[in-house]
Each structure stands twice: as structure tokens, then as C-alpha cells.
Chains A and B, each alone.
Chain A
Amino acid sequence: MNKAEHALHEIHAMNELAAMDSPIHRLGALAKVVVTVAYLLVTISFSIYDCSGLLIMVLYPVLVYQIAGIPIRTCFYKLRIILPLVCAVGLFNPLFDRKTILVIGTLHISGGVMSMVTLMMKGIFCLLASFLLIATTSIEEICHALRQLHVPKLLTSLLLLTYRYVSVLLEEVGIMMEAYHLRAPGQKGIHISAWGSFLGQLILRSMDRATALYESMELRGFHGEFYYAKKNYNKRASFIYAVLWIGAFVVMRYVNLTRLIGGIVS
């Protein structure tokens, strides 16, 4: 399997995750989108020194991953390229902010270290929550939910078509790479002398396929609005899910539950 086919396989694997059946998968997309957006907003709103307050936000992804039956390691594996970047966001903070803000025994923790850890946690939590949304909801359902939230159809169609065309592009790359390697055994990647023609052919082939796909959509009456087959979801459960989580996020934001639990335990 070449790299393009592997990437395509990963996209298909995401579709399969979204097509699973679990209490979370059975909820309405709108509720899941709203809860995810609320989670992201609350998570990023924490102060950069409020590490202990932020820690409780891990509850949402951990709980929902369990209920949805999605192994959390799947998420870390899929996000293996982007996670180091997220973790690198506050990497230089300890160099600039050296003021001690916490002393544990003889250990002095500077503001820079604290903010670096908080930023890393925020990044990881946000990625976990976003991944959770796309692993439990198909792209069509997400776009439909966005339309319900009055996001312009131009944007939702663009999102959906981009997602579709990425697959088309990867398929074409996969086919061309396979054909290339069959006639160039032992070569790693595409030789520089073939890059120009490879890229040119790829663009032409992708355009051909994209045109055929678009024609097929037009022939079935497509006029900018995507319709999809709605799943039968439990409206009441979705509503309760959204209200409970948003309520929980508000409590987590304004009450330092980690400290509270720590105080009770000690």
C-alpha cells in the first residue's frame, strides 16, 4: 500500500468510526456540534496559569470516548502528526516567564512552565473533543447541523465537497503511484525527473474525475444544497445530552472542582 492509499484508508477508517453504533452515535448531530463548540470555548477561556481548574475538563473526552466505544489511543494515533505541533505551542514560555508562581516543597514552578503545561493541555483537550465529534458523526451530518445553525450553504457545501475531492485526489495519486512503481521497481518515491509530468497528469485526471462527479450531481438536481438521509435519532436524549454537558462545562469553568475534590480528599 503506497502513502496515498494509506491516507485514503485512514479517511475510510474515519467514516467507519462515524458509522458505528453507540449511544453517542445515536444522538443528533446538532447536539454534538453544539456541545463540542461549547467545550472548545470553555476550554480555551481558562487562564494560562489555571492548570488545576483546566484539569477537570478532561472528564468530557474521557467519558464520551468510553461511552462511544472509541479507543482513545485511536485518536492519539490519528493525530500523531498534529499533536507535537500543538504541544510545541508554549514550548518557549519557560524562557520568557521565569517568575515563580507555585512552590511544591522545594520545587519552584515558574509561570512559564505553568502556562506551557496549560497550553499543551488546552490543545490536547480541544483536539480530543474535535476528533470525538468527527469520529461519532459523519461529515454530512455535521454539515447539516451547521446549516441548522445558519452557517451559509456555500460554506457547508465547500466543506463537504472538499472532503469528497480529497478522496478523489488521493485515489488518483494512489493509482498513478502504483502504476509508476510497477515500472520503476526499487525506487523510493517518484524520481525528480518525473515530478512535472506526474503532477500535470494528476491535475488533469483529478479535474476529469471532479467534473464527472459534479456532472453526476447536477444530473440528479443538485443546486447548491446538500440533502442527506437523516438518521432516526432520539431528540429528547440529544437535548438532555446538550443541556447537561453545557451546564457541566459552566460549573467546571466557574468552580475549581479539582481543588474542591483535592480539599475533600485531604
Chain B
Amino acid sequence: MIEFKDVTFGYSKENEVLKGISFSVEEGERVGLIGSNGAGKSTLMKAMLGLISCEGEISIDGLRVEQKNIAAIRKTLGYVLQDSDNQMFMPTVLEDMIFGPLNYGMGRAEAEKLVDDTLERMSLLHLKNRQNYKMSGGEKRMAAIATILAMQPKGMLMDEPSTALDPRNRRRLIEILNELPVTKIIATHDLDLVLETCDRVLLLANGTIVADGKVEEILWNQELLEQYNLELPFCIAGIPERFKQ
């Protein structure tokens, strides 16, 4: 469904953010994209959506990422931004959720029904008419995910989806992610989230993919993770050293 062939992107020749990236993701796969700060995770996602133009070839669902296919690609791949405030630009949750479906030509009644169904599935119906600026960080995050789900994408890209969520909402997010029957790429530092929601992990460092494998192969590999400024997930690492006695 997603294919990268020798993709390179940089703001200048000396400052390349992505360097010859190649990988593919099959339909329905659940991929965790991990890496330290500035590794290129967000840039990689933006490249898939045509928000930046890269050298090399990227294709999504058989469509090459180029101007003529942009609208179709963006309908296919939903993108949950890192900062929910940037995602929620309309006054209420309903207005925000209906924005995408209406822009893609869906009828108003059908779009409103879709919004209701999505909110109900996420147990968020109570937020439907809520003013965006009145919501807590966690509520905003969940609503931002709902705005993308309302577009019924075939795949979802999520940038740090668990940021600002309290443990209960984080748990709810994990449940929702596991229930979603779509292709998912989750860029995050929350390795425990990856452990619970993904089957495959891509480890990005300095603009290249340094490891690509099953979750258990990579997230249990302490040496590999530490080499790239990461640590074992908390649930694997166990009790912090100072409490072990």
C-alpha cells in the first residue's frame, strides 16, 4: 500500500533529512516508526502526503505521490498531527469532523451520520457540540483522531498520538487503534504504545532506516535501541533501578 524507493529530502545539500529511504508497507500492516528527536519521522510522513517534495519515488495505494494524485492520496491516508491545536481549526468538534467529508464531496446528511457513528464508536458523543478551545488536551487529541477517522481513510499516519493523554485516555486510544482495521503508521517515542499496537517497527536515525523488523526483534534489543538514543520500553525494562531493592 505504501512504497518508498530511494527517497531523499533535504532543505539543502548539506542538510538532508531523509537519505535514500526505501521500504514498503502492506495493506492492513501496523507499523511503529521510532527514532530519536530529529530523526526524520515527521518529515517521512509529510513526504507520503505530498506536503514536501522529495527525490525518489513514493507511491500510496498504487498512486505515485505527485500533484495530480494528491487529492486521492490525502483521502486515502489520514494524518493525525502532532499538535491537536493545529488539527482542530473549526469552532466545534462537529464542524471540524464534517469539514473533511464535505470537502471530499459527501452529502451533508451522510456526513453528519458518519460523524455520529465515529463519535459513538470512540465513545465521544458528548464532545460533538463542544467548543474546541474548551476541551482538555486529552479530549482534543481524541477529537483530532476522530476528525481523521470521519474521513474513512484506508490508512492512518499518526504523529505522537499518545502525547497529552492521561493513562485512561491512552488506554482508550490503544483500544481504538487495535480495533481499527486500517493500515497504520505510528510515529512515536512511546515505545510501550508501539508494543501494544504495532506488529512491525522501523527505526529511523539520521534520515535513514537503520532497522526494520518485527516488534519483538527490535523493542527487546537494548543494545540497538541505546545505540540510537532510545531505551527499552518501560514494561520490558521493569522497575527503575532505585526501587529494585
With A221-B103, A227-B103, A230-B108 as contacts: A216 and B98 at CB distance below 8 Å? no
Instruction: Report chain B residues within 8 Å CB of A209.
Output: 86
Whole-angstrom distance between the alpha carbons of A8 and B79 in the complex?
A: 28
Within 8 A of B (CB), among A198-219: 209, 212-213, 215-219
Question: Could you tell me if B102 and A227 are in contact, using CB atoms closer than 8 angstroms?
Answer: yes
Question: Could you tell me if B81 and A212 are in contact, using CB atoms closer than 8 angstroms?
Answer: yes
Instruction: Report chain A residues within 8 Å CB of B20.
Output: none
Whole-angstrom distance between the alpha carbons of A209 and B92 in the complex?
A: 19
Instruction: Report chain B residues within 8 Å CB of A216.
Output: 81, 86-87, 89
Give A163's nearest chain B residue, CB to CB: B91
Question: Could you tell me if A218 and B74 are in contact, using CB atoms closer than 8 angstroms?
Answer: yes
Within 8 A of B (CB), among A215-229: 215-223, 225, 227-229
A16, A221, A230: the one contacting B104 at CB < 8 Å is: A221
Question: Could you tell me if A138 and B103 are in contact, using CB atoms closer than 8 angstroms?
Answer: no
Question: Could you tell me if A215 and B51 are in contact, using CB atoms closer than 8 angstroms?
Answer: yes
Interface string of B197-233 (1 = CB under 8 A from A): 0000000000000000000000000000000000000
**B95 CB–A CB distance under 8 Å:** yes
Give A226's nearest chain B residue, CB to CB: B99
Q: B60 → chain A, closest Cβ, in Å?
A: 13
Within 8 A of A (CB), among B131-151: 131, 133, 147, 151
Question: Could you tell me if B133 and A220 are in contact, using CB atoms closer than 8 angstroms?
Answer: no
- B residues near A (Cβ < 8 Å) are 49, 51, 71, 74-75, 78-79, 81, 83, 85-87, 89-92, 94-95, 98-100, 102-104, 108, 112, 131, 133, 147, 151
Question: Could you tell me if B89 and A164 are in contact, using CB atoms closer than 8 angstroms?
Answer: yes
Question: Could you tell me if A12 and B133 are in contact, using CB atoms closer than 8 angstroms?
Answer: yes
Mostly, the A contact residues are helix
Give A228's nearest chain B residue, CB to CB: B95
Question: Could you tell me if A140 and B131 are in contact, using CB atoms closer than 8 angstroms?
Answer: no
- A residues near B (Cβ < 8 Å) are 12, 15-16, 19, 138, 140, 164, 171, 209, 212-213, 215-223, 225, 227-230
B86, B92, B99: the one contacting A220 at CB < 8 Å is: B99
Question: Could you tell me if A221 and B131 are in contact, using CB atoms closer than 8 angstroms?
Answer: no
Instruction: Report chain A residues within 8 Å CB of B85.
Output: 171
Interface CB pairs A-B, < 8 A, 29: A15-B91, A15-B133, A140-B91, A140-B95, A171-B85, A209-B86, A212-B83, A213-B89, A215-B51, A216-B86, A216-B89, A218-B74, A219-B49, A219-B51, A219-B78, A219-B79, A220-B74, A220-B100, A220-B103, A220-B147, A220-B151, A221-B75, A221-B103, A227-B99, A227-B102, A228-B90, A228-B95, A228-B98, A229-B94
B86, B100, B104, B147: the one contacting A212 at CB < 8 Å is: B86
Instruction: Report chain B residues within 8 Å CB of A221.
Output: 71, 74-75, 100, 103-104
Instruction: Report chain B residues within 8 Å CB of A228.
Output: 90, 95, 98-99
Give B84's nearest chain A residue, CB to CB: A216
Q: Which of A209, A218, A221 has the most CB of B within 10 A?
A: A221
Q: Which of B87, B95, B103, B108 has the most CB of A within 10 A?
A: B103
Whole-angstrom distance between the alpha carbons of A215 and B48 in the complex?
A: 13
Give B78's nearest chain A residue, CB to CB: A219
Enumerate the 10 nearest inter-chain pairs by beta-carbon distance, A residue then B residue, closest first.
A221-B103, A220-B100, A227-B102, A212-B86, A229-B98, A221-B104, A229-B94, A229-B95, A213-B89, A216-B87
